[in-house]
Amino acid sequence: MSKDYSIVQHPDGWAAQGHGNSRASAVKSTQAEAYDAARSFAANAGGGEISIHGTDGKIRDKNTIAPAKDPRNIPG
């Protein structure tokens, strides 16, 4: 079963928050550290999609973590 995550700004830094969760799964000081945590969580859950939000709250990038299937047919 796959699990999707978002990387969002948090009062203590950056949070990796699972979709549907009311609390952050991890809070890190940098966005890169939060992404690494979310990538690990998603991989352990059977893959998923990670949405990376900028400081303005808008999604600026998305990555699919294997073994989940990429929703797009475009390589990259």
pLDDT at 75: 59
The answer to whether residue 76 is domain-embedded is no
The answer to whether residue 21 is domain-embedded is yes
Within 10 Å of residue 52's Cβ, how many Cβ atoms? 19
The answer to whether residue 73 is domain-embedded is no
Give the range of the structural domain holding residue 55, as residue numbers without chain letter: 5-65
- Where does residue 13 fall: left (phi above 0), alpha (psi -120 to 50 degrees), or beta otherwise? left
Number of domains in the chain: 1
Give residue-wise pLDDT tens across range 5-52.
999 999 999 999 999 999 999 999 999 999 999 999 999 999 999 999
Q: Which two tokens stand for residue 64?
A: 């699919």
The answer to whether residue 74 is domain-embedded is no
pLDDT at 73: 63
The answer to whether residue 42 is domain-embedded is yes
pTM summary value? 0.85
Find the farthest-apart pair of alpha carbons in the chain and give their distance in angstroms, rounded.
Answer: 37
